Structure 1
Amino acid sequence: MINVQNLTLSFHHNLILNQLNFHIRPHEIVAIIGASGAGKSTLLRCLNLLEKPQQGKIRIDNFEFDVSCRKRHKVVAFRQQTAMVFQQFNLFQQKNALENVMEGLMIVKKYSKDKAKQIAYEKLVQVGLAERIYHYPKQLSGGQQQRVAIARALAMEPKVLLLDEPTSALDPELVGEVLATIKIAAKLGITMILVSHEMSFVHDIATRVLFLDKGKIIEDDSPQQVFSNPTQQRTKDFLARYYSAVDYEI
């Protein structure tokens, strides 16, 4: 499904991603965890070319992209393999929820207004916002805005859904509704890669966890294995801050 080879990125001679290699199978839900500055969000942004690595290849299904390529049409075609949900909601303030979801369908996929409206409505219903489709962002809570953003991403029917700390901008009482929405997306069988600091959620939803440290993947296993019996001391030290009751010896 997704194959990453030798992905390398530096900023001002500072190595952020260090020749990363990994493979993700269809329908997997892969969580990337690690300390701040480990390169988690940067990796996610590299997977849809919002950041441009200096080296490496990324393949999604049969679409392989060498990151040295700068041809705009190939970059655009590759980005359409994925959809991303950001920390901030990035909604058009002058458009209501329905119009926000319709926008990409009409501009990128060239759907008619009627077809885009039908799909947008279905996705908003799917994320529990049937009664908010004509509300503007300023009339929605942060959790509701993020759910619109998730509906917008799902409407594009991506091969891979990327989620970058989707709850970090929310008040604590709003986190639950967004996590519940992500679980709905997971049940649809969509391949997902998410960066999150919500460790209990990662443990609950992910089928696989990657622990990133200093630009390298130092753990790659099931949530049960990574959280209960990590192989690296660095992982144990990190998780100890979140799970004082995790059943492993530090």
Structure 2
Amino acid sequence: MSSAPILSAVPDVAVVPRHVAIIMDGNGRWAKHRHLPRLAGHKAGVEAVRRVTRAARAMGIEALTLYTFSSENWRRPAEEVGDLMGLLRLFIRSDLAELARENVRLRIIGDWRALAPDLVQLIEDAVMRTAGNTGPILAIALNYGAQAELAAAARRLAERGAAIDEAAIEAELDTADLPPLDLVVRTSGEQRLSNFLLWQSAYAELLFVDTLWPDFDADALADAIAVFGRRQRRYGGL
């Protein structure tokens, strides 16, 4: 799909959010509806990641953060966790060249260094390869939990004996170098944040859509941006 139809679906590019975060939910249900194994849903979800990241670049979104693997996802069956990590390895190896070519800067948030050593090395190499890029940011949340992120930020400040206020905490968050969060989208009809970017979402617009993640595409992202553009953001004022 070309960028022209994508942009034409957005009412005013002046209100395109700088930073969009997506809770990618519904892979398992997508597979179940088709009488397929859950792995098939996760593979289809990776294809949705490719579609949406390309669309986000075409629309001029500065930062896209994807909730890829939460700290709670370890509770899933070991086989499924292994499948997810395998798909992550495959995505990095197959898509890194495109990200580098498109001037995308890859960022990882969460306790990703606790993952398998080979995956940690793969991620470090990918982040380093794109570190000098100056275009849009693709942030992947891996082994991420917002409550743990906040606790770690407060702990580092306390260890330094630093004053703890809003600005100090923000500077310690994994997202400190990202634009302020404008829009959070959750797919599959669930209406909760599930421990994702709790601090950052304080004044973000929230949008819950029924579309299962593997069916989410450029048009769905354009629709989300159109909804964002119609909202009035008062930040507590009038």
TM-score, normalised relative to structure 1:
0.33
Greater relative contact order: 1 or 2 (C-alpha under 8 angstroms, separation 6 or more)?
2
TM-score, normalised relative to structure 2:
0.34
Larger fraction in helix:
2
